Amino acid sequence: MSNNFYQKLISDNQIYVMGILNVTPDSFSDGGKYFNLNLATEHAFQMIEDGADIIDIGGESSRPGAEEVSVEEEINRTIPTIENILKHKPNAIISIDTTKWLVAQAALEKGAKIINDISGLADENMLEVVKKYNASIVIMHMQGKPRTMQENPKYENVFEEVYEYLMNKINSTKAKGVSSIIVDPGIGFGKRVNHNYELLRNLAKFQQLESPLLIGVSRKSLIGKSLNLEIENRDIATIILETDAVNKGAKIVRTHNVKNAVQLKKINKLLTN
């Protein structure tokens, strides 16, 4: 059984825009804004209309210091939204942003195609779910856990350590029969500002992993700390970083501002085709 989305992802010559939909009360950028089924669905429809290729739905905040939520609570937040979106937009590509295999399974049962796992498959049951539903898996690097990841992150060589981590995860995942792999260096996850810029400077080297690269820099604190900007004023810097990432080989741009990223996608296509 082929994974149609992943085959298209690796075979075509365009970038993909992943719109962020947080159905949480406490996410760093839009916490509480879409913590309501109708508002969440309307926002998803708007992002699809604006040109988003993927809607990434998360029911547990991963901001620094965030508290964990139960499986039941996460399912209650995300699954009705997925059902509502696919009821009206059956061709929408849905990604579930979760570290819990039970949440992932519930989302895939309802029609999600991608698991976006910021823990890098810390839950040993996650791969079995990926295989069962022939899903795509995003493997991300994070030092520590969201609650504590920014307390004192340390690296000898951040690029080499993140690269080696992702390479090992790719190899072990393929060894277990899963090959629809997307990698994410985890900008902002257990990294200081200088660590993030070191990864972004070396982003092109991640292409050697031969897995599509997802990049998420949207409105993150590295922008705020570098330019002294509040969250609502970070979209220009965001699209600058996203453009640089695409020029270095990023295939998926995970973003809050879908309109900006879609313009990037269109210009990139005109420049590269």
The domain ranges of the chain are 15-272
| pTM, full prediction | 0.93
For 15-272, CATH gives: 3.20.20.20
Question: Are the C-beta atoms of residues 96 and 112 closer than 8 Å to each other?
Answer: yes
The model's pLDDT over 66-111, given as tens digits with 9 standing for 90+, comes to 678 899 999 999 999 999 999 999 999 999 999 999 999 999 999 9
pLDDT value of position 147: 63
Find the Cα–Cα–Cα–Cα dihedral 54, 216, 212, 179, rounded to 10°.
-80
The residue type at 152: N
Find the Cα–Cα–Cα–Cα dihedral 76, 141, 244, 205, rounded to 10°.
-150
More confident position, 187 or 273: 187
When the pLDDT of each residue in the chain is averaged and rounded to a whole number, the result is 92
The model's pLDDT over 36-71, given as tens digits with 9 standing for 90+, comes to 888 899 999 999 999 999 999 999 877 766 678 899
pLDDT value of position 69: 87
Q: Give SS3 for 32.
A: coil
Catalytic residue among 113, 234, 254, 265: 254
The model's pLDDT over 160-214, given as tens digits with 9 standing for 90+, comes to 999 999 999 999 999 999 999 999 999 999 999 999 999 999 999 999 999 999 9
Q: Does the annotation mark 220 as catalytic? A: yes
pLDDT value of position 28: 43
Catalytic residue among 77, 220, 251, 265: 220
